[in-house]
Each structure stands twice: as structure tokens, then as C-alpha cells.
Chain A
Amino acid sequence: MEKTKMKDNRNVLEVENLKLYYNVSDGQVKAVDDVTFFLRKGETLGLVGESGCGKTTTATALMHLPTPPGYIAGGKIILDGEDIVPLKETEIRKRIRWEKISMVFQGAMNCLTPVYTIGKLMTETLQEHRAISQGEKTSGFSKSRKTPRKMNKEEARKIMVKYLDYVGLSEDILRRYPHELSGGMKQRVVIAMALFLEPKVIVCDEPTTALDVVVQAQIINLLKELKEKLDLAFIFITHDLATVAEVSDRVQIMYAGRIMEIGTNQQIYGKQGPMHPYTRRLLEATPRLHEEVEELAFIPGTPPDLLRPPQGCKFHDRCDVAMEKCKTEEPDLIEVEEDHYVACWRCRK
């Protein structure tokens, strides 16, 4: 990807050559291998791929929370003009995580501590970053810059109610326990908690996967509304091309730790269709409800073992249009038309 395109003042997040490796006993797993992409203000970027393609790993890198033994092996993550990769953990915790970028983890809605009320859970999350004084009024003593901004209980409550309102929940949720809520409501609570500190970027990892279709549609609508209302930038991680089509302005397809294609919603789902053979065939394999098909398409074979990745393009052994070059040389991601990036030898003129 050309550097000029990357440097753009519309971008809130720019990721350059990000590498996240796992050192395991049998060798090195390049879970995210030299990934470059950007996220514009107020847009939703869909991050799509099959399990193990590195989409969640990319998200943990953005949060500066790689799961051990994973570590960021190189690259830049420029969030709001600042590279967060070299920052120390204390710094990240104080200024970056939840403050500028927050994440709705996969299955987070099932991880709400069952013994606390939603109010208590939310207060605790808020407290991590904003000291809540017990008194009625904000304490005037704390001048030290190190202590987080103080707020009193009433202010905290106001914030919680405000964000609960954003996600379409009423105030009385605060007194309820997680088990009293339905799956959709819990997911809304988790999203509200990610909004608390007004971050610039919210990463949602499979936020609709465990939900029923009707609730899924409701959550998708909610995310769309939030984007409008709060001018947020979302990264929406999922394995389902159909869900992404509904929410994402741009779609980024990953396979075996690499980005295969990035394109606008129209470029991927429009008449012309995607360019990369992987995206194309994945889209063909996505079932459509309103079309009667005799045979569903599929991609034979399985994704490569990242401990022993194939030479050349990672997809070549499952690709039906692979050439000799694909087996030896790995293609980079290049821009083939405005906002449309593809990593494939076949797609070059």
C-alpha cells in the first residue's frame, strides 16, 4: 500500500506493517503477518475471515493486549496521530485503552460477573479510569495530574444512564443482575461500557455471533445508530460476510494472517464483485436466503497451518486460478482502484 494513501487526515487509525507473532515450542506462528490498513473517522471497517486468520489477534494488538505468548514483533499502530506500539503498559492504560480505543470482546456479554448488579459492574469499569468520590460534590483537593479526573456518584450515574440510553436500555437496568437480562440486553450493556470514556475507535469482536437473528438485526441497527450519533469509528470483526455487508462501509478480508483484499461495501458486494479469488469464493459460499441454489459453493481444503505456512501466496493451494508465480512469491497489497486494495498476482494488469 502506498504510503501517501496511508497518511490522510481523515484517518483515525493507521496500522503499518503490523506483525504479531507467537513463539511456541514448535516454532514461530505469524498470526498477523505484515498487515497495513487504516480506519477513517466515522466509518465502520469490517474485518472478515475464517477462524484462525488473525482477525481477533489484530484486534488484541490494536488494544495493545496481545495474548501471551504472542507479542508485537514490529510495525506501527498510529492511533489519533500517535504510535502506540512503543508505549509502556502504564501509559497505555492511562491514556489509550478505553480512553481512545475500546473493545467489545467476543462473548463479553457472558462474562459479566453474576453476583454484581449491572450498576455495580458499570461503576467499577468507570472507576478504573475516573475516580468516583463518595461525597456529593466533586472534591476540589486533587490537583495532582496523576490521579484520574474525579467525579462524584451522581455524575457517574448520569454517565451510565446517558450511555444506557444510547444503547436503548432504561435506567432500571442498573439494579438488575446479569442473569435477569436477555442476551441482547447484555450485549447492549457491554457496548455501553465500551462507550463510557468516549473513545475514538471501538473494536467489536463478533458482537452478533451468539445472538438470535432478530436480536442480531437489532444490535446491527444499534451500531449503525451509534455511529451516526456519536461519530465513532468501528472495527467490526466477524466471520460472516453477510453480516458485514449490513454494517461496514469498507470490508477487509484476512486469510492466514495476511490481508487479502480491502474494498468499499460497493466494491465487494456490488455488481462487479470482489477481485481476490478468496473473497470471491467465500462470498459464493455464503448462503443467500432468497435465492434458490441447487449446490452451495465451497472452497476445498483447509486454511494452512501457520506453523508451516506455504511458500508464496498463502491461499495458492486452495485457489483455482493459481499460477506458478503464486506458489513462489507472496503478493503485496496494492491499490487497484480508489480505495480497493488486493493482494493477488492474478489481479494485476
Chain B
Amino acid sequence: MSNSKYLVEVENLQKWFPTRRTIGEVFKGQQRYVKAVDGVSFKIERGEIFGLVGESGCGKTTTGKLIMKLLDPTDGKLIFDDDDVTHLDKVGLDTYRQNVQMVFQDPYASMNPRFRLRDVLEEPLIIHKKGGSKAQRMEMVKKALNEVRLQPSEEFMVRFPHMLSGGQRQRGATARSLILNPKMIVADEPVSMIDLSTRAEILHMMKTVQRELNLTYLYITHDLSTARYFTDKIAVMYLGKIVEMGNPNDVIDNSMHPYTKALITAVCEPIAGKVNRIKEVPIKGEVPSAENIPQGCRFHPRCPYAIKECWEKEEPVLEEVEKGHFVACRRYKEI
């Protein structure tokens, strides 16, 4: 097994969902698609935390599911650990699932409410036939709970999800994702449902675990603030495509794409003296439906800097404008 620098390589990944056809379309043989993910390429280094940031409906969760192989891509290529995993047979999928785990947004919903925490954690072991006996498996569960600092583990093991606080649940969910010793974890908004006072604690824990076990994270979020703190690289998605990518400081302090800029201005900050000012939000309206993606640059209808070229010419591609800083805008220099 050659060890390249990258654990995950995504090339032009697409996911189109067919829409329900009207009678007219059935007769004409037409089919429209919701282009949830419309050609996404990025690479995640080993041991890196890669942040995928965007508003709801931008395709970040679908991308996460594609990488989790919960969905099959319409087109594109997915390389994991130097193997092409775009299409996998049952055995291949089995191995893949051991290597890639997921932490969901809502830790409560992601656990069967009828399972005690130990059953929740035991499940991956049973599925992948790890740990010979029940006692051995329980040892592994305990170990995983200790890793995420759910202590005393014996006490937490017998609790049901509804007997845990939000933070404890997310720790439990993280423990479940760690128990098979995966190489990568896809974390879909892992802290958005957790109270502010414990949110940082969870992120801190996840980062510690990541460093200790040398894990790779794909961190999906809408929250630029936590992404800045948590990630090593940020990709900003808009309508199924990445519009800007780079290390967090570049993307946030030196953003180049008008969409990223707008997102950053819109974020609220706990600073005094903003009450009586109407905030300048440079972009208008809301994200259009992924069913009819605008011609040309998909951001042009909302872009304050759009010129004729933006909708008449083909879509700008993601290009490296500084070292490690990619932008998909043809006017990034002018604005």
C-alpha cells in the first residue's frame, strides 16, 4: 500500500436527484434533476481537518453522504487511501465502512432511543464481528467511552440517550464512530444542536481525539466561526459547487469570492454598538433552488459585482490564486 499525501481525493463528484415528472414531461421523455452536488473536487490530507462550509441546500451534506457512501454518485470519482472506491462491492463496502465513520448533527436522533449507550456502541462491533465475546466487546465500549471522556464509563453505559445531556450524547456518538478504529470521520454539523457553553468542549474533545489517534476529519458546517477554529482547510460551497477553498485564515480574513465575503459580513459577532445600525448585507435574496441552476456563474443573480460576462460565458473554475487558496470567480482581482 503506497502512502500518498492524501487520504481522500474527490474528483468532479456529482449527485443529481431526479425530480418527479409532470405528465407533459413524461410524454416528452424529459427528466429534470436537482443538482445537489454538481462537480466537486477536493483533496483531504492525512491527519487533516477539512471543513466544508455553506448555507442549507448548498450540497454539503450530500457531499458528506457521498463520501460516506450512503449515496451513490451520479458521476465523478472518489479515491480513498489510494483505492478507487466510487463503486464498491459488498466486501469492499464492508471494509470501507470500518475505515470511514460518521458523526451526525443531532446526536439524539442518531441513536436508537430504545438502545442503551452500550448497545449503541456495541452495534458497530457486532456488525463487523469485532471482539470475540460480549465481555470483550464491553471492554472495547468502555475504552471508547474513556477516549471521549464519558466517565465513569460504567455509569454512562447503561443510560438511554434521553438520559444524557446534549454534549454527553455527542460524546457518545463520537465514541461510536471511534470504536472501529477508523481512518476518517465525517462530522456533519456535530455541534450545531449543542448548547453554546459545551459546544467548545465537544470541539476540543474531537480535536484531542483527532490528534491522539491521528484521524482525518471532514467537518461539515454552516458556521464559519467554529470552522475557523476547528479546521485546517475550508471549502465554501454554493449551490453544489465549491466557490472558494484554502486555509481558514486566508478564506476568512482574505476572502476573494463575493459569496464568501457576503457570508462573512452577515455573521453576527458579540460586539457592542451594533444595535442601532442596519447591517450592510451585500447580497440579495436567498439561495435559488438546485433544480434550476443559473446559467454561467451560478452566483451571478445575487452577486453585486456580476457583469455580462458572468452569465454569458461559461462557469468560472476553481483556480489557485495564491498558494493553497482557490477561488472560482473571474473577477476576484477587481473586487
Interface on A for B, CB 8 Å cutoff? 44, 50-51, 182-185, 212-218, 220-221, 224-225, 239-249, 265-266, 268-270, 281-283, 285-290, 292-293, 295-300, 302-303
Contact = CB atoms under 8 A, between A and B. Distances in A.
B275 A285 contact: no
Given A213-B267, A269-B272, 15 more contacts: A183-B56, A212-B222, A213-B224, A214-B266, A214-B286, A216-B268, A224-B278, A225-B278, A240-B268, A244-B270, A245-B270, A289-B269, A297-B200, A298-B204, A302-B198
A290 B229 CA distance: 10
B228 A292 contact: yes
Counting from the closest, the 4 A-B pairs by CB-CB distance are A296-B200, A287-B225, A269-B272, A298-B200
Contacts of B56: 183, 212
Nearest to B224: A289
Interface in B80-100: none
Interface in B129-171: 165-168
B262 A214 contact: yes
B225 A289 contact: yes
A289 B279 CA distance: 16
**Which of B165, B267, B283 counts the most A-chain CB atoms under 10 A from its CB?**
B267
B166 A287 contact: no
B253 interface: yes
A288 B121 CA distance: 34
Interface string B254-275: 0000000011111111111111
A205 B197 CA distance: 20
A128 to B, nearest CB: 30
A246 B281 CA distance: 13
A304 B62 CA distance: 37
B282 to A, nearest CB: 9
B83 to A, nearest CB: 36
B225 A298 contact: no
A320 B57 CA distance: 41
A270 B56 CA distance: 33
B269 A290 contact: yes
A242 B55 CA distance: 18
Contact of A289 (B165, B197, B264, B287): B264
A269 B268 CA distance: 13
Contacts of B273: 265-266, 269-270
A292 B249 contact: yes
B34 interface: no
A215 B55 CA distance: 10
B199 interface: yes
22 contacts: A50-B196, A185-B286, A213-B222, A213-B263, A216-B268, A217-B279, A220-B268, A225-B278, A240-B268, A241-B270, A245-B271, A245-B275, A246-B268, A247-B275, A266-B273, A268-B272, A270-B272, A270-B273, A289-B225, A296-B229, A298-B204, A303-B195
